[in-house]
Structure 1
Amino acid sequence: MRRGGVLAGAAAAVLLGAGGVAAVTLTGQDDVPAAASAAPAAVAEITRSDLVDTKAVDGVLGYAGRRELPNHAPGTVTRVRKEGAVVRRGGWLYRVDGRPVILMYGDIPIYRTMSSGTGGKDVEQLERNLKALGHDPGTVDGDFSWRTERAVREWQEEAGLAETGTVGAAQVAVTSGPARIAEVVAEAGAPAGRSVVTTTSTRRVVHVDLDSGDQRLARIGARVTVDLPGGGEGKGRITSVGTVAEPVRQNGQPTGESTIDLDVTLDDPGDLGRLDQAPVTVNLRSERHADVLSVPVEALLALREGGYGLRLAGGRIVPVETGLFAAGRVEVSGNGLAEGMKVEVPQS
């Protein structure tokens, strides 16, 4: 096949199935029309635009950081917040034997009883929380001093806790910020087991279990669109990509497939209401070619000499180089091609 030359002669055309690509042979001299298609043809236009390859995958709209919050208060659950409630620093999450379990912010779980004379990063975290709640622990230095104990007793009185001057895991649960009650694990009247509530952060997120074979689509910062419940569309970015593939199981048995975790943060979550665990469709972009010529995929002719061509309106066949395939169109380039030219496509 000679690129750039003007093609002529008879062309043997064989359709490869309904709507398929025709196979043609190019022969002869310049400017002689190729033989007509074996089937009636419609006409499409060569257009110039950005071509974007996308793939639609299933996702779930919810909140980030979902986990069962560990409970260390023994006894009977006597009260629990409603699902969907947001608890901030100093607020109670639930009550056991009538005593509240209070939320504090930080990244160190309460793993021991803190009292006068103890010290460490967990004490410093406690002091920061006491100060934020309006109780002066003195210098925030990680040393449980008499001032720290006084601040603890003031906080305990205000919170409705026993004024012991010590702080342990039965009194306090720690999260990185405000906690949203996603699920009540133990209702009032039930024994307070290893967990009473499942919590999330207040940050809206779309989670995708992405097939490992589509990992090329998972680039942090990449733009996506999300088809939302009710017919709306949201825009966002990929903000988290898992690094460990998780095997897919069906009826407890591995299927041989695997997925990676992918999280999308929406640009404007304000219109999402309080939907949680709602199914959505996420449109991931794999590639974008800007300002290119494209035609419908079905306009391509498979050349027996190799490669592809297009049949221009009027019958002449020209060879083309193909690029990105996306949204039912294909990027094309070649001598003599221009925006607005008409090409033949099979009738559907």
Structure 2
Amino acid sequence: MSGMFTDPDPGPDTGPDTSPDTGTDKGAEVEPGQEGTAPPRAPGRRRNRTVLLAAALVAVTAVAVVGALGLGGGDETPAAPPREGSTVAVTRATLVERTKVEGALGYGTEIPLPVKATGTVTWLPEAGTTAERGDTLLRVDDRPVVLLYGTLPMYRELGLAAGTPPPGTGSTTPPAPGGAGGKGEAGGEGGTPSGAGTVATPPSATPPAATTTPQPLRGMDVLQFESNLAALGYTGFTVDEKFTSSTERAVKRWQKALGVPETGRVGLGDVVYASGRVRLGPAGVRLGAAAGDNALTYTGTTRKVVVNASAQEASWAVRGTPVTIGLPDGSPVKGEVASVGRQAAAPEGGAGDAPPTVPVTITVPDQRALGRLESGPVTVEYTGRKREDVLTVPVAALVALAEGGHGLETADGRFVAARTGLFADGMVEVSGPALHAGMKVRIPR
């Protein structure tokens, strides 16, 4: 129809207009936006998205904290991720406590020899010389002082004792006045006239001189000496408590071999007794000095170890207790406690508050194991407490718990309490209701 306007390109029908009324005429023309710019967003949309993200982060953090603290509501508590570190098994074993103390190897304490000879020292042995029965220890006035074995010291001269006159050889008594049977009356038989005032004339013959018979000397010291004399090969007498003429003859043969006058008697300073072979120490006198009790010192001939053990911790030192001796080169040698001193003393050179010590002597049965070492510092290892068939873990597996005490970390990250007992050789005794043999625990880094 003529006079009507027709839109040449009608768009698709978009339905009724629902846009908000902005106060602008629908027919008004809208200025197009600049090219390359995004249409403006509503002011409140960005704020809403930021709030949602923050809330989500708080929720995730809360879940993580609950899981880590084990505060979930279920019966099973989820374990935290295990920490790094190796795991070991709880084992059942026997723990033995071993302790090392310092000691000194040597021949023991030097003891003075009871030399009773008097005179000038004319010969001395070298220090370290070993002497046995019959050997000369030293010479005094060029006479040998000989070593013999025994425990009874020399306290008197040995020889035949002075005897008593034989019967019938005593002094004679002159006859009584008046004759042998006279009464002294006049005309009496065999008598003299009364009032004569004369006495009987003594016999002209001189009585024989009284003689004595040597008597045997008796005593335990005689038995000790005769035992040594026989051991040296001088026999011909009975070894007993009597020093007889047969003993005297044997003594003379012994004196001849020694190069001394053959008197048959043994002087107080001719011999020195010791319990056995001795090792002579440094001389206490010089040549030309007077002999005395401190002329020589001696020790035993076997090497031993002496430990000055603390008197408070010497319960391990019991006679017969086995120990291990560590030599300076590191090699071990077996030893045994032989004796323990009964008197405690302050340690030499120690501080005033140092505990007193007692000497513990340790013997070494295998002397060859010591080699040529004669003296030096050593270590002595002894066994203390012992715990059999107990649960054990390495000491490094223990952890300190916040509430006190010790615990163990399981392989899945849990912590269980553990009571500790004996520590020995890097292991520790543990116990607790949650522990059992074979259980895996973690050693923390």
User: What does residue 171 of structure 1 align with?
Assistant: 270
Structure 1 gap ranges (5+): 1-8, 13-27
| 1:280 has 2:402 as partner | no
The letter of the residue matching 2:355 is: E
Conserved? CA contact 1:81–1:94, under 8 Å: yes
Query: Could you say if the C-alpha distance between residues 152 and 336 of structure 1 is closer, same or farther in structure 2, counting changes exceeding 3 Å?
Result: same
1:316 corresponds, among 406, 414, 426, to: 414
Conserved? CA contact 2:92–2:392, under 8 Å: yes
User: What does residue 430 of structure 2 align with?
Assistant: 332
Question: 3-state DSSP class of the match of 1:154?
Answer: helix
- What are the equivalent positions in structure 2 for 1:93-112 lying under 5 Å apart? 93-112=137-156
User: What does residue 295 of structure 2 align with?
Assistant: 196
- The alignment's C-alpha RMSD in Å is 2.9
The letter of the residue matching 1:61 is: L
| 1:120 has 2:209 as partner | no
User: What does residue 87 of structure 1 align with?
Assistant: 131
Identify the range of structure 1 (274-283 vs 218-227) with the bigger mean alpha-carbon deviation.
274-283
**TM-score by structure 2 length?**
0.64
Q: Return the alpha-carbon distance in structure 1 between the equivalents of residues 77 and 139 of structure 2.
A: 88
- What are the equivalent positions in structure 2 for 1:7-86 lying under 5 Å apart? 32-33=78-79, 43-64=87-108, 66-86=110-130
Conserved? CA contact 1:182–1:197, under 8 Å: yes
Query: Could you say if the C-alpha distance between residues 317 and 185 of structure 1 is closer, same or farther in structure 2, counting changes exceeding 3 Å?
Result: same
| 1:271 has 2:315 as partner | no
Q: Return the alpha-carbon distance in structure 2 between the equivalents of residues 124 and 31 of structure 1.
A: 91
- Give the Å deviation of 1:259: 0.8
The letter of the residue matching 2:270 is: Q
- Give the Å deviation of 1:336: 4.0
Instruction: Spell out, residue by residue over 1:46-76, the C-alpha distance to the aligned partner (whole angstroms, 9 max, x if none).
Output: 4554422122111111124631212222233
User: What does residue 17 of structure 1 align with?
Assistant: none
Q: Return the alpha-carbon distance in structure 1 between the equivalents of residues 360 and 398 of structure 2.
A: 36
Identity %: 43
The letter of the residue matching 1:311 is: E
1:257 corresponds, among 355, 360, 368, to: 355
Tell which structure's C-alpha radius of gyration is larger: 2
Query: Could you say if the C-alpha distance between residues 216 and 31 of structure 1 is closer, same or farther in structure 2, counting changes exceeding 3 Å?
Result: farther
Conserved? CA contact 1:64–1:201, under 8 Å: yes
Conserved? CA contact 1:248–1:254, under 8 Å: no
User: What does residue 301 of structure 1 align with?
Assistant: 399
1:235 corresponds, among 334, 339, 358, to: 334
Question: 3-state DSSP class of the match of 1:196?
Answer: coil
- What are the equivalent positions in structure 2 for 1:111-150 lying under 5 Å apart? 111-117=155-161, 118-136=217-235, 138-150=237-249
**TM-score by structure 1 length?**
0.81
Conserved? CA contact 2:80–2:412, under 8 Å: no
Identify the range of structure 1 (291-300 vs 86-95) with the bigger mean alpha-carbon deviation.
291-300
- Give the Å deviation of 1:280: 0.8
Query: Could you say if the C-alpha distance between residues 62 and 172 of structure 1 is closer, same or farther in structure 2, counting changes exceeding 3 Å?
Result: same
Q: Return the alpha-carbon distance in structure 2 between the equivalents of residues 185 and 176 of structure 1.
A: 21
Structure 2 gap ranges (5+): 1-66, 162-216
Conserved? CA contact 2:284–2:297, under 8 Å: yes
| 1:213 has 2:257 as partner | no
Query: Could you say if the C-alpha distance between residues 187 and 292 of structure 1 is closer, same or farther in structure 2, counting changes exceeding 3 Å?
Result: farther
- Give the Å deviation of 1:241: 1.5
2:441 corresponds, among 334, 343, 346, to: 343
Q: Return the alpha-carbon distance in structure 1 between the equivalents of residues 247 and 332 of structure 2.
A: 51
